[in-house]
Amino acid sequence: MALRTILTAPDPRLKKKSKPVDTVDAETRQLMDDMLDTMYAAPGIGLAAPQVGELKRVIVLDIDREDTKTGPLFMANPEIVEASDDDATYEEGCLSLPDHYSDVARPARVKVRYLDRDGVQKDLACEGLLATCVQHEIDHLDGILFVDHISALKRNMILRKLLKTRKEKERDEAEGKPAARDKDKESAPAL
């Protein structure tokens, strides 16, 4: 088990387009396993490779709620091949935009095609939170963050706050103060 560092916005690597993987080899599987461990530790329900600084089209998900239980899902080169006309709105969060949430509307149902951890091509019909999560993670592979779906005003406010939080954290670390992040706060799941 190896935990990777999760990049937070604004970071130029989160705005880059990731490259497809040629094959799901041992290196890809290692990345998938590390990403899953990192996601569980965060904790989150989805993570994309660029969030740990790897510009590869790899995502991991695990949705565990009363209405949806997926178990761990590993996807290389995921692609939306079908999307419903009607939208659903969820309050989204993101491990790369800690402690910020916003309503985002996306197609309510999608079909995703991907290579699994064994390199086998699969199609998966997704709805509810799973549909939102899959689309959110695939967005990461194209350098798109959930804040890119909301108004510029709100986006800039969130990015400014993140920058301020980062500067405060760096200052506290320089002064040897312990981290003051509120882990007990009730919040929507981070993707």
Shortest gap between Cβ of 164 and Zn ion (angstroms)? 20
Q: Which is nearer to Zn ion, 121 or 187 (CB)?
A: 187
Instruction: Looking at residues 92 to 121 of the shown chain, list those that interact with Zn ion (rule: CB under 5 A).
Output: 94
**Active-site choice (66, 82, 137, 173):** 137
Strand residues in 2-120 grouped as ranges (E) = 46-48, 58-61, 73-83, 87-92, 102-107, 109-115
Burial class (CB within 10 angstroms; exposed 0-12, middle 13-18, buried 19+) of 55 = middle
Q: Verify binding: residue 162, Zn ion, rule CB under 5 A.
A: no
Let me know: does 114 contact 76? Beta carbons within 8 Å.
yes
Q: Verify binding: residue 191, Zn ion, rule CB under 5 A.
A: yes
Q: What mask of x and - would describe binding to Zn ion in positions 29 to 68, judged by CB under 5 A? A: ----------------------------------------
Catalytic residue list contains 92: no
Shortest gap between Cβ of 92 and Zn ion (angstroms)? 8
The site that binds Zn ion (CB under 5 A) totals a number of residues, namely 2
Helices (H) and strands (E) in the chain, counts: 3, 7
Q: Verify binding: residue 131, Zn ion, rule CB under 5 A.
A: no
Give the helix ranges, DSSP H, for the chain: 26-41, 128-141, 152-174
Q: Which is nearer to Zn ion, 8 or 77 (CB)?
A: 8
Cα gap 97→161, rounded to integer Å: 10
Contacts (Cβ under 8 Å, ≥6 apart) of 161: 100
Per CB under 5 A, residues contacting Zn ion are: 94, 191
Q: Enumerate the active-site residues.
A: 137
